Structures are given as C-alpha cells and as structure tokens.
Amino acid sequence: MRLTKFGHACVRLEHEGAAVVVDPGSFTDPAAVVGADAVLITHEHVDHFEEARLRAALEADPALRVWTNAAVARQLDGVASRVTVVGEGDAFEVGGIGVSVHGEWHAVIHPEIPRIGNVGFLFDGRVFHPGDALTVPPHPVETLLLPFAAPWTKVGELIDYVRESGAPRVVPVHDALLSPAGLAVHTRLVGAGGPGTGAELRTLGEGESADLG
C-alpha cells in the first residue's frame, strides 16, 4: 500500500490499482483526486470537505464515488446516487481495499461550540485516518494518521493517543495551521525529543509518498 500526503488532512492511498483519497478540503490541491476511485470525507468542515471542488471532481469523472457521513451527504444533493452514507460499524470495499468506519463525533473545540459528526476510516485493518477526533482504532494498526495541529488539539493528548493506539508508525496530517517552527516543535515532542510514544514518526511533505508494505 502506498500513501501520499497532500495538503493538510488529505492523503491518497493506492493498492493493487485502486486509489482512495481522504479529506481533500480547501487546503488541498484539487489534483489530489484525479484518477481516484473514491473520495472519503470524515466531516463537513471546509478544510476536509470543499463542496464546489468535490462536485467538480464528480462532474469530471463519472466513475468517482463518495463515502461520508450524513451531514456531508446532505450537501451533495443532485449527486446522491454516487454518495454512500456511512457511520460507526459500517464496512465497504473500494477496488479491493477494505474500509471500516469508526467514531461518531468531532473532538470538542469548546463546550459552547456545538459538536458535529465525524467518522474515521480504517483501511485493510492497517491504516487509520481518524479525521478530527482521537478515536482509538478497534485494534492496534500498523500506521496511524495523526491530526497534528487544530483548534482542539493538545500535544500531550496526541502523545497519549499514539500510545493508546498501539501503532508502530505515525504519519502526521492536519498540519496546515503550523509554521515551519511550529511543525518542528510538534515533531520533536511527539517524536524522539519527547517522552516517547513507542512509534516511529514519519513526516511527509506535500506530495511525498511512502510505501507502507
């Protein structure tokens, strides 16, 4: 399985000829979805879901399909036949890539800000993208995509989350809000310069790929 990091929280997973793109939002080059079989959206925030861009991608590729939660699906009226609503406990396949769905809610930003739905996606039982939440996967995974910086994140909680997930490899995502200096600080604390998570921290630049085995 090959993982490519795109802008912010967006990644592209490719395996045996199938390609799945997760969360190509407003900070992501629209080219990330070109040639993909499916787009998966964890939740409705614009840095994960940009309606106009996704509609354009669907118009450009009649074979493209979308899996997401109910809130996002409601915004895609007119293309509903190509959108599948999923939630906690659901499972499906995209070109031989098995996907299971975990989690229900976005992390709390502030008690006075209403929470929205959020689903995480587990690929072939090996790679987990939690969206904007610290949902613990149902079993230890090989690769955890870690939301590095957001209005709701705290580095100490990220460290504990990696430990609880049991993942031997972590790839940071959700990092557009960090300056280069801030990214270096987070990388040090969650990586070798911090208290330790038991996981290898593998950072990927824009458009950079890694073979996950």
pLDDT at position 34 is 97
Is the pLDDT at 94 greater than 90? The verdict is yes
State pLDDT tens for residues 57-91.
Answer: 999 999 999 999 999 999 999 999 999 999 999 99
pLDDT at position 60 is 97
Strand partners, 11: 5, 22
Is the pLDDT at 213 greater than 90? The verdict is no
What percent of the chain is predicted at pLDDT more than 70? 100
State pLDDT tens for residues 7-39.
Answer: 999 999 999 999 999 999 999 999 999 999 999
Residues 105-127, mean pLDDT to the nearest whole number:
98
pLDDT at position 66 is 98
**Inter-helix orientation angle 180-190/155-165, to 10°:** 40
State pLDDT tens for residues 132-157.
Answer: 999 999 999 999 999 999 999 999 99
> Is the CB of residue 129 less than 8 Å from the CB of residue 143?
no
Domain boundaries, the chain: 2-211
Q: Name the CATH topology of 2-211.
A: Metallo-beta-lactamase; Chain A (3.60.15)
Structure tokens at 123: 């690929």
Specify the pairing of strand 18-22 against strand 65-68: unpaired
